[in-house]
Each structure stands twice: as C-alpha cells, then as structure tokens.
Chains A and B, each alone.
Chain A
C-alpha cells in the first residue's frame, strides 16, 4: 500500500523560499504566476493493507516528526 503525506506552511507564515521561486518564475516569463508557496511531499510505502490504520499511523507520524504544527499543516492520502 502506498501513501502520500503533504506538508505545507500555514496561511500567514512567511515563506521566503516560495517568494524567491515566485520571483524566478516571473523573471523567466512564465505567464500568470500570482504567488508560490513551497511545501514537502513524502511518498511512503506501507507494509499492511488496512487503510484506516495506516491513516492513523501517518497522522501520528506527522504530529511527531514530519510536520512542525506550529507553522505547518499536513494532509495524508492513502493511494492504495
């Protein structure tokens, strides 16, 4: 079973890297870029087949390590 965890900065938290990337995209002439926020994706392979248990385990993983919930949100998707 595969899962994807996405960690993004909360609204209102300054993202200097996203801003720099935004500036670079604009300077490359890519049209229509309004703003960029940078985040992280973790692709995780799971040994079991219980999607509910996996979701709970990955939520715990986010709370304990993958995200700093002071500044970041996370989303867990079980990809099957």
Chain B
C-alpha cells in the first residue's frame, strides 16, 4: 500500500495521519498541494485535517481548487482509494469527490471531544478490521461538520449503503444528544458510490495506541495497510 498524504497551507494533521498509516503498514509519501502529479504508484490519497486556507470563503473550498486536486480527481476516477478526514472531508465534498456539503455545526460551537461512532459496514477496504455495528471511540474537533445534502442525494446514499459511520451514544443508539453537529441521519462519514473514497469528520489517526488514550482508530489503518 503506497499512500500519498497531501499538505495544503493550513493542514495540520498530516504528520499524525502519516504516522498512523505507517503503523498500519503503508509506505507513506508526502505530497504538496502545488504539485501537479501524485507520487508514482500511489494507491491511496489522504486528505488530512486542519484549516486549509484558514477556512476562508467556505471550509475546504480553496484547497479543493489546488493544482494537485486534478490529479486526485483523476486518481479517484480510475478507482483509486481516497481517505479524507475532517478538513479533508470538507475538501473532498467541495472537489466533487463525495456528494453533499459540510456546514456550520447546528449549535454554532466548535466541538472538540471524544465521540462514539457506529460502523455501518465492514466489507470495504477501510473498515474490514471492525465488526458490523461496532461502536468505536474516536475524537472529533470541528466547527463545520454538519453534513447536509438534498433529499434525493440522501435517499440515494442511504439506499446504496454509502453511509460509513454514524454518531451514536455509547450503547450504539442514535439519540439526539449523540449528534454533535446536526448532521442529517447522524452521518459522520460517507463513501463514494464505488466505496473507494471515504470522507469522515472524526479523527481515527488520534487514537491508534492505548498509551495515548485508545486504539479504536487503528483497525482502519491496518485494514488499509492490508489492501493492495
């Protein structure tokens, strides 16, 4: 598994996600937003978290128009893997890699806390290390994580099984209190139609070892490390 981690001006989780990918068995190369091509042989593109371009205009909007994104779109169109986390998820939606958009949290507050998620399916290259319906413990840190899309798109992504993770309580129930940002149907992460692009607001790279508070993010990187 050869992973390319893209850094935009204002990206700040590129180091942590590179470390998590490496721990999962991937061969990781850095990649700069102004480049026009991905490193040769890239299997997986990672759009990390952060505050690209200071969140100016709309979160992810300017990064989505960076030079490297033409190469990322071509990679995705070829069936290449893309993992987009937090600001990366916002960039992926703005770039048209995933449907919908992430807007200001419903309560207008930046949320930074531990959060439980339900794993919707385990037959993808991202989630093969989890059990179906497993409740995992992750970190969230965002001000614009409120996932919305039109009714037709929502029906399609629900019908096609494109929801990857949902915000839930510790018992796995989708209670209103367990939704930190107002996302439709508690959506925390979605797949592209071919299940090769995953966008998610939570940060699995934060929790990959017990020493630093938990390891529920690790299976995602191990699953990717085993792929390709």
* A contact residues vs B (CB 8 Å cutoff): 13-14, 16-17, 20, 64-66, 68, 70-71
Contacts and interface: CB of A to CB of B under 8 A. Distances in A.
B47 interface: no
Contacts of B65: 64-65
Contacts, number: 35
Interface string B70-107: 00000000000000000000000010000011011111
B107 A16 contact: yes
A65 B69 CA distance: 14
B182 interface: yes
**Chain A interface mostly:** helix
Given A65-B61, A68-B94, A13 B148 contact: yes
A16 B65 CA distance: 26
Lowest 3 A-B CB distances belong to which pairs?
A70-B101, A16-B108, A16-B104
B61 A14 contact: no
Given A68-B94, A70-B150, A16 B106 contact: yes
B148 A68 contact: no
Contacts of A13: 103, 148
Contact of A16 (B57, B100, B105): B105
A17 B61 contact: no
Nearest to A20: B108
B106 A70 contact: no
A69 to B, nearest CB: 10
Contacts of A17: 104, 108
Given A14-B182, A16-B108, A64-B65, A71 B57 contact: no
